[in-house]
Chain A
Amino acid sequence: MKERRSEAALEQALRERRILVVCGSGGVGKTTTAAALGLRAGLMGRRVLVCTIDPSRRLATSLGLTQLSGRPRPLDIARFRPAEGGAVWAMTLDTKSTFDALIARHAADEEARRRILDNTFYQQVSSALAGSHEYMAMEKLLELSADERFDLVVLDTPPTRHALDFLEAPDRMLSFLDTSILRFFLRPYFVAGRLTLKVATKTGALVFKLVDRYLGLQFLQDLSEFFLAFEGMYEGFKERAARVHELLRRRSSGFVLVASPARPALDEALFFHRRLREKQMPFVSFVVNRVHPDPAEIGGGFPGRASRARVDADLASRLAAIYEDQRSVARLDRRTLARLEVDTREPLILVPELEADVHDLRGLKEVGDAILPPEASGNGRAPRSERPRPARAEP
């Protein structure tokens, strides 16, 4: 019963851990999975915050709300009769305003704060550009993990092409903000207010000549202002990034890797899994969404009380064709998934492709039930889902 092992691991994580990071490449149902797991933990009696980093406001859609704000908003889960004390909040991360707030909090004084916020270069960095989403997600995680209102934070990760960007972008961002090298070049330039590059190496001079030639004087001025303004803050940024890494490595944190049976998504999950191991970060389980059920396994009638029936030849041949088509897709999934299990030696939690779209709390509840059968979570009151259990991939 190795499937039970991964379900038990996930169930325990929802019950005990304080941070769950939900990762995966785009289009695998990551946001929905994060929201469904958060809802489930809430029903189990925990106080959960689901946080998504989301330019297109997808969590809002899956929660049936038109918009989520940058502040945690309680969801009405009373109708699902949660265990005592259970509550769920949801929020989206607004990268720009998180960044601004961070600057406001950590800038040395009002003058430094203004200088950064008004800087053209900062305005580009802080909004929508590569790396800043991931970086701010980590900053926010640090803040939320200290928030006493919640005992579990479920973090959905940004929709990157490569899931791993989430772990690596902050380092890239930090490396960019690391003024120790740039300051060296830019300070004399800035102070003099004109192009007087005093650089230690010829290569350095060449790089800056290039920057000046290709980006122009104004840009260099903005840039050096930006770095000068950041000067006092860099150490703080670095220190917090180290704390986030430490936080994520704790046993009270965990990573849930979401994939679909499509090959690129699986490869991505495999790669991520390996990197988590290298970085010694706590893996919880794989959740594979959109697995096509094999009609031969999900069955139809109920043995014992099935009524025998016949259909005419035309319908019979059409139904047979539909049946065979669905089987061939299911077989393909099974082969691909078997490979993932062999490669990772981790059992997978398989979630069948849903028959209806998920865009409200009830739908999320059903997704949660498909990931973890309700009785496994000890919630007890929830009715057993009528949906057949997912077809399992046999090795």
Chain B
Amino acid sequence: MVLDDLLRRRLVFLSGKGGVGKSTLGLALCLAARERGKRVLLVEIDTPLEAARVLGRGPSGPEETEVSPGLFTVNLDPRGVMDEYVRHAVPTAMLSRRVIESPLYHRFFAAAPGLPDLMVLGKIMTLEEAHDRWSGKPRYDLVVVDAPATGHGLSLLRVPLAASKAVPVGPIGHNARRILAMLRDAKRTTLALVAIPEEMAVVEAVEFHETAAREVGIHTSAVFLNACHERRLTEDQEAEVLRLAAAGADGPLARGIRLGPALAAGRRQIRRRKLTRFYQARLRKALPFPLVSLPYLFEEEMGAGAIRALAERLEAS
């Protein structure tokens, strides 16, 4: 259901505190969308990463690459996007090369506040709007953006508004307003937040939603709570574990496992589970849209298998 709602849009931004598993979730979301027959593009921003590596490919580059059938990735490096823009804007290759190599361009474009962010968003808009030349169909049915973590993520989304004020005329100002309109179009664009059951991550998700809604006017459709510890013992068993652990019980449990350490592990699991439940309740109360809980994955490496497991969980949500 949540997935249906999310996949109705054409552009999904994912954001949340650093380290909450945004990239992993982004990839899982793309896989789930592809299962439904969509052509999907996963956009990473300035991370020579991750998505393609997880699928056993080299890191994504500045060109859109089909990493598995129907699934494309691209890594947008702001500088590269700006250079591309200049090449597009300047009529001849020789001139554009001279601009790109000039120190003035370096200083101005590389440091001008917000300009790299604006360029990246512009490129995302271009990708979202791209059509196949022959069939006239959209090149992608869904674009998922693995946006930067909360702090920078917010300034990224704020840039079009700031730019449309600072640059009232000209193509940049015009593009800024088009980007803003795209971000504000709830039928086209939505934001999904990612958190884990921890105080800071939850606080940031809530703040992000509030600020993004108030200052940018972007619609949020779901919050994903990663790394949830689910109940693995019955209520009676939990009580017994806590009692035995408090009494310092020990003895053999199974081959190679002593009861004492296993009780410590059990007690830890119980605490994590309760914490998970606490933050689930808090998010439900604070946010006016659905919460999707995803399990903690005890994988030795975050590989393709784990991502697929997550994608299946998304499908079930």
**Interface bracket on B:** 35 or more
The closest CB in chain A to the CB of B46 belongs to A161
What 0/1 pattern do residues 17 to 58 of B give for CB contact below 8 A with A? Answer: 111100000000000000000000000001101100000000
- In Å, the complex CA distance between A222 and B239 comes to 68
With an 8 A cutoff between CB atoms, is B212 at the interface?
no
Interface centre among A57, A62, A185, A219 (most CB of B within 10 A): A219
With an 8 A cutoff between CB atoms, is B244 at the interface?
yes
B residues 170-219 near A (Cβ < 8 Å) are: 170-173, 198-201, 203-204, 207-208
| Stretch of B62-70, B109-117, B133-141, B306-314 at the chain-chain interface | B109-117
Question: Smallest CB–CB gap between A166 and chain B, Å?
Answer: 12
Question: Smallest CB–CB gap between B206 and chain A, Å?
Answer: 10
With contact pairs A27-B20, A315-B237 given, residues A159 and B260 touching in the complex (Cβ less than 8 Å): no
Contact B248 A130 (CB under 8 A): no
Contact A295 B265 (CB under 8 A): yes
With contact pairs A178-B107, A328-B298 given, residues A301 and B170 touching in the complex (Cβ less than 8 Å): no
The closest CB in chain B to the CB of A325 belongs to B298
The closest CB in chain A to the CB of B95 belongs to A206
Across the interface, which residues of B come within 8 angstroms of A321, CB to CB?
232
Across the interface, which residues of B come within 8 angstroms of A2, CB to CB?
none
What 0/1 pattern do residues 291 to 304 of B give for CB contact below 8 A with A? Answer: 00000001011000
A residues 206-255 near B (Cβ < 8 Å) are: 206-207, 210-219, 222
Question: Smallest CB–CB gap between A69 and chain B, Å?
Answer: 18
- In Å, the complex CA distance between A322 and B269 comes to 7
Question: Smallest CB–CB gap between A201 and chain B, Å?
Answer: 8
Contact B111 A172 (CB under 8 A): yes
With contact pairs A56-B207, A129-B113, A356-B271 given, residues A213 and B104 touching in the complex (Cβ less than 8 Å): no
Contact A356 B275 (CB under 8 A): yes
What 0/1 pattern do residues 184 to 209 of A give for CB contact below 8 A with B? Answer: 01000000000000000011101100
Across the interface, which residues of A come within 8 angstroms of B260, CB to CB?
299-301, 306
Count of A-B residue pairs with CB < 8 Å: 263
- In Å, the complex CA distance between A120 and B167 comes to 9
- In Å, the complex CA distance between A332 and B302 comes to 11
With an 8 A cutoff between CB atoms, is B81 at the interface?
no
Contact B250 A301 (CB under 8 A): yes
Interface centre among B103, B165, B198 (most CB of A within 10 A): B198
Contact A58 B171 (CB under 8 A): no
State the B residues within 8 Å of A (CB): 17-20, 46-47, 49-50, 86, 89-90, 95, 98-99, 102-105, 107-108, 110-114, 116-117, 148-152, 154-155, 158-159, 162-163, 165-173, 198-201, 203-204, 207-208, 232-233, 237, 240-241, 244-245, 247-251, 253-254, 257-266, 268-269, 271-272, 275, 298, 300-301
State the A residues within 8 Å of B (CB): 25-28, 31-32, 55-58, 61-62, 120-121, 124-125, 128-132, 158-161, 172-173, 175-176, 178, 181-182, 185, 202-204, 206-207, 210-219, 222, 260, 262, 264-265, 293, 295-296, 298-302, 305-311, 314-323, 325-326, 328-329, 331-332, 355-359
Can you identify 30 A-B contacts, CB atoms within 8 angstroms? A26-B151, A55-B150, A124-B163, A130-B113, A160-B152, A172-B111, A206-B98, A217-B169, A218-B167, A222-B166, A295-B264, A296-B261, A298-B261, A298-B264, A299-B264, A300-B259, A301-B260, A302-B248, A309-B250, A309-B251, A309-B259, A315-B237, A315-B240, A318-B232, A319-B265, A319-B266, A320-B262, A323-B266, A332-B301, A357-B199
